[in-house]
């Protein structure tokens, strides 16, 4: 089967069917029959340059991935409104019983740049109010760190904010206390392909 197609999605699908599917067929059949049991829920940015499955070389069924602008987790607010991130967290924790939640930020994040500089006029309906939840934290960072470090420090600060908000969910906080659920903060450097991890240090440290 030819992989050539003017449509990059169709071309990619054809490569998948020809090059990947034959070896993975049994694995996919087992996932279809037995259901998914991912070990980790990842909250990541929608940015096309920071794909969690690729970064972690994950097989199908291993990661439950939630992606949105600037890898934000809003606080716990069960008010009957539409909460996509919170719904995914509830399903991943309560139904799939993941053992870890990772919040992964990344370099050159446009959402976090918009927190610093303001959202473009063309995205005021949804992007502007969404990123507003991180704006105070990011602007505080901009006032306290060296200008050369503001970009990455801001991205790290939003990961911390999302982790703090995760702990406002009672069924996440309880599982973390009992040791059945671990929370991890990461930052992916696009240019160097390196992950940095949140530790007790002031800034994220390279993951060995």
The Cα–Cα gap between 3 and 119 comes to: 39
E-strand stretches of the chain: 40-45, 63-68, 100-106, 182-189, 194-197, 205-206
The Cα–Cα gap between 63 and 137 comes to: 29
Residue pLDDT tens, the chain, 208 long: 456 778 999 999 999 999 999 999 999 999 999 999 999 999 999 999 999 999 999 999 999 999 999 999 999 999 999 999 999 999 999 999 999 999 999 999 999 999 999 999 999 999 999 999 999 999 999 999 999 999 999 999 999 999 999 999 999 999 999 999 999 999 999 999 999 999 999 999 999 8
The predicted structure's pLDDT at residue 43: 98
Closest by alpha carbon to 165, among 150, 140, 185? 185
The Cα–Cα gap between 116 and 154 comes to: 9
With left for phi above 0 and alpha for psi between -120 and 50, is residue 97 left, alpha or beta?
Answer: left
C-alpha neighbours within 13 Å on the C-beta side of residue 48: 0
The predicted structure's pLDDT at residue 5: 75
DSSP state of 122: G
pTM greater than the 0.85 cutoff: yes
């Amino acid at each position: 089967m030819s992989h050539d197609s003017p449509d990059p999605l169709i071309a990619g699908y054809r490569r998948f069917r020809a090059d990947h599917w034959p070896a993975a067929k049994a694995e996919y059949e087992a996932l279809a029959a037995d259901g998914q049991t991912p070990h980790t829920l990842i909250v990541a940015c929608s940015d096309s340059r920071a794909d969690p499955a690729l970064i972690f070389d994950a097989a199908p069924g291993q990661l439950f991935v939630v992606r949105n602008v600037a890898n934000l987790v809003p606080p716990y607010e069960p008010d009957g409104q539409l909460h996509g991130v919170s719904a995914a967290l509830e399903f991943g924790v309560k139904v799939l019983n993941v053992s870890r939640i990772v919040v992964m930020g990344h370099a050159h994040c446009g959402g976090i740049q918009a927190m610093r500089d303001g959202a473009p006029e063309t995205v005021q309906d949804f992007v502007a109010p969404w990123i507003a939840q991180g704006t105070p934290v990011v602007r505080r960072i901009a006032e306290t760190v060296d200008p050369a470090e503001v970009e990455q420090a801001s991205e790290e600060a939003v990961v911390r904010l999302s982790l703090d908000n995760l702990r406002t969910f009672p069924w996440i906080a309880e599982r973390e206390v009992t040791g059945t659920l671990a929370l991890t903060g990461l930052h992916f450097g696009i240019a160097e392909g390196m992950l940095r991890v949140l530790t007790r240090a002031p800034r994220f440290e390279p993951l060995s």
